[in-house]
């Protein structure tokens, strides 16, 4: 924080010109000057320096955040690729099982048809050989 300039002589002259006696004017000037020494005032320069530091800190944080987001995206893409590979393996297994089931069902249905046709043949033969 910056010190605020204080012209004690001008202050005393201003007070004495308004009718305050010089001794009192000097005492008032000293009291005001001492209070300025104790007080901490913020100037525009102080604010600009603070703003500059804040901007630099924010820019640094923004750069770090961009790096972290980039790393997070890379990690997510890796994880998604692994999940996609697992799903592809599951789909391949499902297709294999589907083909296997189609073959099994087809053989069962074929067996049933053959058995049915055999039974039908026996039934027809029995009907034909039976005298009326």
Q: What is the DSSP letter of 2?
A: B
Mean pLDDT, rounded, for 119-132: 84
* Percent of the chain residues topping a pLDDT of 90: 67
Burial class (CB in 10 A: 0-12, 13-18, 19+), 16: middle
Compare 132 and 23 and report the one with higher pLDDT: 23
Mean pLDDT, rounded, for 91-95: 95
Compare 55 and 5 and report the one with higher pLDDT: 55
Mean pLDDT, rounded, for 69-98: 96
- The whole-model pTM stands at 0.45
Mean pLDDT, rounded, for 74-103: 96
Tell me the CA distances in angstroms from 41 to 2, 29, 51, 69, 73, one per residue in order: 7, 18, 16, 41, 47
Average pLDDT, the chain: 90
Is the Cβ–Cβ distance between 32 and 11 less than 8 Å? yes
Q: Minimal CA–CA distance to 8: which of 21, 25, 62?
A: 25
**Euclidean distance between CA atoms 39 and 34, whole angstroms:** 9
The per-residue pLDDT for range 31-53, each reduced to its tens digit, is: 888 877 777 778 889 899 999 99
Is the Cβ–Cβ distance between 43 and 2 less than 8 Å? yes
- Tell me the domain boundaries of the chain: 42-129
- Report how far apart the first and last C-alpha atoms of the chain are (Å, whole number): 128
């Amino acid at each position: 924080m910056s010190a605020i300039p204080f012209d004690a002589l001008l202050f005393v002259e201003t007070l004495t010109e308004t009718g305050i006696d010089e001794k009192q004017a000097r005492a008032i000037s000293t009291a005001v000057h001492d209070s300025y020494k104790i007080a901490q005032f913020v100037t525009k320069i102080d604010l600009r320096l603070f703003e500059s530091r804040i901007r630099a800190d924010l820019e640094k944080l923004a750069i770090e955040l961009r790096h972290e987001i980039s790393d997070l995206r890379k990690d997510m893409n890796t994880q998604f690729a692994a999940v996609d590979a697992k799903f592809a393996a599951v789909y391949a297994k499902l297709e294999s099982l589907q083909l296997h089931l189609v073959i099994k069902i087809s053989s069962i249905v074929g067996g049933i048809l053959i058995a049915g046709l055999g039974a039908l043949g026996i039934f027809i033969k029995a009907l034909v050989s039976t005298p009326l």
